[in-house]
């Protein structure tokens, strides 16, 4: 099942998401639906709050970037109850987009390296370190679980310049190729 995507203006995107119990009912279906939603919208990452679920889960698949960064060939993962242990390395800038902020792309600066603990879809715990594009996606998706959007990392001037476009998103005056849930009717 493809979920409609929650967009800017929806209060859920600003809420800290809740931890997931191992026997959470329907967890397998939720993960399956998140994959389906992510692929159908051409996203490389998707967090549960983006599909209306206040749960600490995100999915990533950046295997398509393996041509440029060979180590991405296995970078398809489900992160449940993730916890960032450490951010390190030099900050670098990448032009980011987000399914919850259709038609907006901005340069965002983040540290290169992220060490993260998480459970996979079988509730096996991992403690891994990522950098480059993988580390970037993880930080972006993790932010969603904390109620943070990439625009929060911009200067107040940049944010002010985006204000009317953000307002348009909240009122559904955007037409992405995927289905969205309009926050303000
Ligand atoms: Zn996002």
Kindly list the catalytic residues: 141
* Cα–ligand 1 centroid distance for 8 (angstroms): 10
* Cα–ligand 1 centroid distance for 70 (angstroms): 24
Q: What is the pTM of this model?
A: 0.97
Q: What is the pLDDT of residue 69?
A: 86
* Cα–ligand 1 centroid distance for 61 (angstroms): 14
- What's the rounded mean pLDDT across residues 78-82? 98
Q: For 114-170, what is each residue's pLDDT tens digit? A: 999 999 999 999 999 999 999 999 999 999 999 999 999 999 999 999 999 999 999
| Mean per-residue pLDDT over the chain, rounded | 96
Q: Which of 149, 140, 106 is nearest to 10 (CA)?
A: 149
Q: For 15-25, what is each residue's pLDDT tens digit? A: 999 999 999 99
């Amino acid at each position: 099942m493809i979920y409609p995507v929650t967009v800017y203006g929806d209060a859920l995107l600003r809420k800290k998401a809740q931890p997931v119990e191992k026997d959470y009912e329907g967890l397998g279906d939720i993960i399956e639906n998140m994959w389906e939603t992510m692929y159908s919208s051409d996203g490389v990452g998707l967090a549960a709050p983006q599909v209306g679920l206040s749960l600490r889960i995100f999915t990533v698949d950046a295997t398509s970037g393996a041509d440029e960064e060979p180590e991405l060939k296995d970078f398809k993962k489900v992160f449940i109850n993730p916890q960032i242990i450490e951010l390190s390395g030099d900050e670098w800038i990448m032009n980011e987009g987000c399914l919850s902020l259709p038609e907006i792309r901005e340069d965002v600066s983040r540290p290169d390296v992220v060490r993260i603990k998480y459970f996979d879809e079988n509730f096996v715990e991992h403690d891994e370190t990522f950098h480059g594009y993988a580390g970037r996606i993880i930080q972006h998706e993790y932010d969603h679980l904390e109620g943070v959007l990439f625009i929060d990392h911009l200067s107040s001037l940049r944010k002010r310049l985006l204000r009317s476009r953000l307002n348009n998103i909240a009122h559904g005056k955007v037409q992405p190729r995927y289905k969205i849930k309009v926050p303000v009717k």
